[in-house]
Structure 1
Amino acid sequence: MIVVVGKENPAYVEAAGAVPVRFVESLEHETFDGVQAVIGHLPADVLDKARELRWVHSPSAGVDSDLTPEMIASPVVLTSSAGNGGISLAEHSILLMMMLNRDVPRWMRAQAEHRWDHYRHGELAGRTVGIYGLGNSGLDLALKAKAFHMRVLGVRRRPEQPSPNVDELCDFGTLLSESDFVVVTTPRTPATTGVFDRAAFARMKPTAYFVNISRGGIADDDALLEALTSGQIAGAGLDAHGVEPLPPDSPFWSLPNVVVTPHNGATSDGTLRRSQEIVADNIRRFVTGEPLHNVVDKAAGY
């Protein structure tokens, strides 16, 4: 039995073949008798009840909330939807970079006031983007940045892996000091949580922008706020936040050098379609005994 949290999807039933698939609104009242796989976020206390469970698929690309101590200790295989939003997040990164580079909020304020505000602005060509994390979204951003004639630096945990369209793999310090845009595309793990602290922002150029489209908590919000208000960095584009939803009284909302979006960068039809394709393919693989895609390294955190 495969239990799916969400709406019925004929593609999942087809992929499962003779294995029954049950669609539920939540796992709250699930007994887990005979359940071997769950598609959805699994509460930590469920693992004790689900004696036959072998596989859990997270509908999210990032699995920081799924990696409970119970899941880490469990032999249950965890897979993710990594890659579902890579294209959309890369597009959102370019959007935020251009909004900051050209000060689009200034145009929007002028439009609201019916005021003709003509000014000299920047362009991305010739600028350096430093991508912190070269997974699906990071590599797609590198491709798009090259189309904008940018120099691309990158930091990744496994530098031996291919990094197409990246001009240079470098250390964290070089990324900070040489980039005009520092873009965070890495998952939140114990190794990345809080890595953008006061010392990190102090190494960035005062003309540089910080962009986060992955997860909150990778940047220390107090350190980021201090860097933005003191002029240590020029501005920020924030789709991921330390506290979500971003509280109404958060100072990030009203800073003139910050563009805030509500963790919305990957909320596209394409992301949904790719998520469903990943799930259907993994259901087929689970049923036929083939290796699953996107198996999470529980020690690494993604």
Structure 2
Amino acid sequence: MCVPEYGPVLVSGRFEPEERERIRAAAAGAPVEFVERPGDRADLLGSATVIAGTLSGEELAAASAVRWIHSWAAGVNADLAGGLDEHPATLTSSAGNGAIPLAEHAMMLMLMLNRDAARWARAQADHRWERFQHGELNGLTCGIIGLGHSGLDLAAKARAFHMRVVGVRRRTDRPSPGVDAVYAPEDLHRMLGEADFVVVTAPDTPATEHLVGEAEFRAMKESAFVVVVSRGGIVDDRALLRALTEGWIAGAGLDAHGEEPLPGASPFWDLPQVIVTPHNGATTAATRRRGVDIFVDNLERHVQGRPLANVVDKSAGY
């Protein structure tokens, strides 16, 4: 079989020889060109029927034959920003490739906040033996905003720590294994009031921008923590800073930030009840491998005329 309406498959990024062979095999005879960025082969943009990588608006305009574009990212904000939201090409994402390490990162931040691990780190730096009574996750409630790949993986991990799990998702009719109660977006405040940890795993879309602001922080317990591992911008940073400095909530673990890299002058760096990591939670070799697996599977589907997986609803943004 050949890719319908035979044309070049333009694949951007850096790949090991074995990965290149897998992609070529999946293309089943269609010519495959590997480039650092799609624009590096401007001569092929007009004839490529499949492109893997993020295109600028200018590159997208030149890609007149493309019918399927694959994003190497799980979140497609950058892809849609180039005008792809109005382009007829199907867009797929790598959603799910980083779900496991993101959930692990969220659990790490929850444990560190719950046990005040920074206090041990300070004592170790001072060579000081300091024992103190700390918390445990057992019996606490983990509230998850976004029950997609990362959210559901986190639910399973939180349940393993004997936590109660509640969550908010747009489609409450979809299965949510490991979640004790699923709330619709309009019931967000109810969920926030129950949670000891509020973990943001949702994608950054027009519907989730600044979803968590002053009213939401005031709906949380004063003893609760917020953890952000998916995308910045879902939490209103100014509202979060006020919530932290005025004691509306107990603390935060932040891997995703409204502005990245987080500026050196940001007050979040120095708040004692905040843990900052540099949007690094899913930076693992396995995340990358799973991303390649997703594309190879979809390329085989495309060649065989089967429905693609991870198709993005452009109107919803994910």
Identify the match of residue 190 of structure 2 among 162, 174, 183: 174
Q: Which residue of 2 aligns with 1:196?
A: 212
Identify the match of residue 283 of structure 1 among 290, 299, 303: 299
* Structural mapping, 1:113-124, within 5 Å: 113-124=126-137
Match status 1:153 vs 2:163: no
Q: Could you list the structure 1 runs, at least 4 aligned residues long, displaced by more than 6 angstroms after superposition.
A: none
- Structure 1 residues 216-256: Cα deviation after superposition (integer angstroms, max 9, x where no partner): 00011000000011111000000000000111111101110
- Structure 1 residues 66-125: Cα deviation after superposition (integer angstroms, max 9, x where no partner): 112621111011000001001111111100000000001111111111111110000000
Q: Which residue of 1 aligns with 2:256?
A: 240
Residue pair 2:9, 2:51 contacting (<8 A) in 1 also: yes
The percent identity for this pair of structures is 56
* Structural mapping, 1:215-254, within 5 Å: 215-254=231-270
Q: Which residue of 2 aligns with 1:104?
A: 117
Unaligned segments of structure 1, at least 5 residues: none
**Helix, strand or coil at the partner of 1:47:** helix
Return the alpha-carbon distance in structure 2 between the equivalents of residues 269 and 25 of structure 1.
Answer: 19
How far residue 2 of structure 1 moved from its aligned partner, in angstroms, is: 0.6
Return the alpha-carbon distance in structure 1 between the equivalents of residues 271 and 106 of structure 2.
Answer: 19
Return the alpha-carbon distance in structure 2 between the equivalents of residues 71 and 187 of structure 1.
Answer: 17
Number of residue pairs matched by the alignment: 302
* Structural mapping, 1:68-79, within 5 Å: 68=81, 70-79=83-92
Return the alpha-carbon distance in structure 1 between the equivalents of residues 95 and 140 of structure 2.
Answer: 29
Residue pair 1:19, 1:287 contacting (<8 A) in 2 also: no
How far residue 167 of structure 1 moved from its aligned partner, in angstroms, is: 0.5
Return the alpha-carbon distance in structure 2 between the equivalents of residues 143 and 116 of structure 1.
Answer: 35
Instruction: Give the TM-score normalised by structure 1.
Output: 0.98
Unaligned segments of structure 2, at least 5 residues: 1-7
Letter in 2 for 1:84: N
- Structure 1 residues 134-178: Cα deviation after superposition (integer angstroms, max 9, x where no partner): 000000000011100000011000000001110011220111111
Return the alpha-carbon distance in structure 1 between the equivalents of residues 57 and 227 of structure 2.
Answer: 32
Letter in 1 for 2:292: Q
Return the alpha-carbon distance in structure 2 between the equivalents of residues 263 and 251 of structure 1.
Answer: 17
Return the alpha-carbon distance in structure 2 between the equivalents of residues 48 and 140 of structure 1.
Answer: 38
* Structural mapping, 1:15-30, within 5 Å: 15-29=26-40, 30=42
Residue pair 2:98, 2:287 contacting (<8 A) in 1 also: yes
Letter in 1 for 2:136: E
**Helix, strand or coil at the partner of 2:139:** coil
- Structure 1 residues 240-280: Cα deviation after superposition (integer angstroms, max 9, x where no partner): 00000111111101110000010000011221111110011
Residue pair 2:56, 2:82 contacting (<8 A) in 1 also: no
* Structural mapping, 1:36-55, within 5 Å: 36-55=49-68
Return the alpha-carbon distance in structure 2 between the equivalents of residues 141 and 229 of structure 1.
Answer: 28
Identify the match of residue 2 of structure 1 among 6, 9, 24: 9
Residue pair 1:221, 1:242 contacting (<8 A) in 2 also: yes
Return the alpha-carbon distance in structure 1 between the equivalents of residues 36 and 139 of structure 2.
Answer: 50
Return the alpha-carbon distance in structure 1 between the equivalents of residues 182 and 237 of structure 2.
Answer: 27
**Helix, strand or coil at the partner of 2:177:** coil
